[in-house]
Every structure is written in structure tokens, then in C-alpha cells.
Amino acid sequence: MENLMEKRFYILSICVLAALGIGLYHFRTLQREDAVLAKYSDVEEGILDDSNADLYPRNIDLVDYYAGGAERSCYFIPQVPNPYINALYYFMDPDGRVIEDQMPIVYIKPGDPAYGEMWEIFHVHVPRRYVPNSVKSIHTILEAEKDKVFSVTFSGMGVNMPIVSRDVKIQDHDGNFPRKIDIYYNKKRATALQFETSLAVSEVKKIDTMPVVSVWRDGDKESLFEKMWSKDMSGDTDLRDSVNVASFERSHPSYTPIWKLSFIHVKNTYPTLSDPQLSVKAWKSFDQLVSDIGRHVNFKKGVNGLEETKFLFNCPQIPK
């Protein structure tokens, strides 16, 4: 009986020692991982200066237009967009899930020569012990990637995400579009609006543009792109006269939020938005515009009535 008890005690002792050894090994492994991760940690340096309203929009308004035969609405971002895009970094856990508590990171800001509102999404794959928001700069991401602590992969997708004033006011509509998020730029906090999140990125790292036509009546000093410039261009005290026709709606495979503006010169017979017959007379699609072009267009202006421009606008359409 005593021999049996001794054997059991001996086996139990071995199991306890083995468990303690494994636990100690695991603890020391975690300590080493934490020590390694501690090397890749940034100290926050406050909030990005977004006081320049020309660079950081403070008001995002809705603009109405026609596409695909129906009236649509989009948000007008009051900046001239650069169609070329830069990198935006999202952090992923070892299971391939986005770390929601980690703020995305960018390395360029409004006012920089190459800044654009479109971003290509990169995934930063981090160890399980990573503490969200330890990293706050692209420099630290690249250092950790060089040391093979992080790995970075390209998602193949782009996002429309202008950096704005942290006090930005967004005109309301039914829904939760866009999403206001915090990001890091060079260890500083900034604010961005997340619009389309699944834009295809071409091989030349460029977001395509979409043709949009703005009506310009004879007798008007400028085209009727009134609401975008908050200016009564037709002199009728109504800023809703912007009758614009976009080539594609959001569900179309060729849709993009970047508008390339052209003017179409029309006679005074073309209706204004205050005209009760607008719904019958106005162009609601590119196909309708082409088929009805002879009735309203002033062919003496532009090239057969059409005047192309280099103006680009970021106008993300509200989802249906």
C-alpha cells in the first residue's frame, strides 16, 4: 500500500513539475513577445492641426443630380481631388480579423502635394499579444515589417476617405453613411469620413473618373453647378438649379465617386428645377441626353455644345 502511495506521489510530483515547467516556458515566451512588441510603440503627439478650412472641410452637403433615369443624391466634398491614391493601413489579428480598436494609419495629409482622398488598403498582420494603438506611424510599421515582427499585405481594394476637420458637420439623410472615424497621421490624431469602402484599384494605382455633365443655359453667367459653389448663378435666388447628369449610378460596375466635369450649353428652353414640368423635360440619364440633344443644345458653343474641363470633384453617391 505504501509503495502504491509513493508511486502516485512520484507521478503527481512529475506532473506538477512538468506543468510548472510548461507554464514557466509559456510565461517567458510571452515576456519575450511583449519585450519585442514594446520596441514598436509610438508616443502620441496630440491632434493634427486642422484649422485651415480650405484643406480640412467643415461642412459636407448633399447635392442632387440625375443618373440612370432617376434623381440621386451625393455628398459634395469641397476639395479638388487627386485621382492617384496613397496607402492606408488597417491592422489584422492572427485570425484575419480587423482589430477594431486600432486606428487606421496614413502617412500623408491635406496640403501635401501628393495628398488624395482615395486610399489603397493595406493589412498589417500583428502577433496576438499586440496592444491596439501601440503603433501610430508608418515608420514604425515599416520597422516592424523589416524585422519580420509584422507582415504587410495589399488588399486589392480602395476606400474613399477624405481627411476633414474634427468639427465637421454632415448634412443628415436616412442612414449611417458616411462613417466618421479617427485615424493616425505621423503619431497625431486626425478625423476622416469613410465613404465607399470597396473601390477597385487599377494596376496604375489610380481611381478612374466618371463623366458628369452640368447644364449651362444661354443668358446665365455660369453653369448651374450652383449648390456646389453656394452661389446663385442664374439670379433667381434658388440654389437648387443644378441640373447635372452623371453617367453611372452607384450599382453600375463602372461607378466611381470622382466626377470629371463637362458643361453642356443649352438654350433657355431647358427647364429649371423650379419648373413644374421639370420631371418631364429634364434629362435624367446620358442616353436621354444623347437622344434629345438636338432640342435644347446650343451647338455654337464649345464643341457642338459640349465643353470639357479638367475639374474633378469627389461626390460619393448615397446608397439606395
Classify residue 294: in a domain, yes or no: yes
Q: How much is the pLDDT for 185? A: 97
CB atoms within 10 A of CB 277: 8
Please report, to the nearest 10 degrees, the dihedral formed by the alpha carbons of residues 229, 234, 236, 239 taken in order. Answer: -20
Q: Which tens digit of pLDDT belongs to each residue from 296-318?
A: 787 777 778 888 888 888 888 88
End-to-end CA distance of the chain: 80
* Separation CA 28–CA 30 (nearest Å): 5
> What are the Cα distances from residue 30, in Å, to 26, 40, 258?
6, 16, 48
What residue spans of 90-202 are helical by DSSP H?
138-146
- Contact (Cβ atoms closer than 8 angstroms) between residue 85 and residue 54: no
Class of residue 61 by CB neighbours under 10 A (exposed 0-12, middle 13-18, buried 19+): middle
What residue spans of the chain are helical by DSSP H?
2-38, 138-146, 226-229, 278-281, 286-291, 293-296
Q: How much is the pLDDT for 52? A: 93
What three-state secondary structure class fits 147? coil
* Separation CA 139–CA 303 (nearest Å): 50
Classify residue 44: in a domain, yes or no: no
- Contact (Cβ atoms closer than 8 angstroms) between residue 271 and residue 317: no
pLDDT band at 25 (very low <50, low <70, confident <90, very high): very low
* Separation CA 205–CA 10 (nearest Å): 67
**Span 208-222, average pLDDT:** 74
Classify residue 152: in a domain, yes or no: no
Classify residue 286: in a domain, yes or no: yes
174's grid cell: 436616412
- Kindly state the greatest CA–CA separation across the chain: 114
Domain count, the chain: 1
**Span 145-149, average pLDDT:** 92
**Span 180-205, average pLDDT:** 84
Q: How much is the pLDDT for 315? A: 85
Classify residue 184: in a domain, yes or no: no
Give the domain extent around 250. 210-314
Classify residue 2: in a domain, yes or no: no
What three-state secondary structure class fits 200? strand
What residue spans of 225-282 are helical by DSSP H?
226-229, 278-281
Q: Which tens digit of pLDDT belongs to each residue from 132-144?
A: 999 999 999 999 9
Classify residue 78: in a domain, yes or no: no
* Separation CA 72–CA 66 (nearest Å): 6
Classify residue 41: in a domain, yes or no: no
Q: How much is the pLDDT for 24? A: 45
Looking at per-residue pLDDT, the higher value among 219 and 241 belongs to: 219
- Contact (Cβ atoms closer than 8 angstroms) between residue 221 and residue 79: no
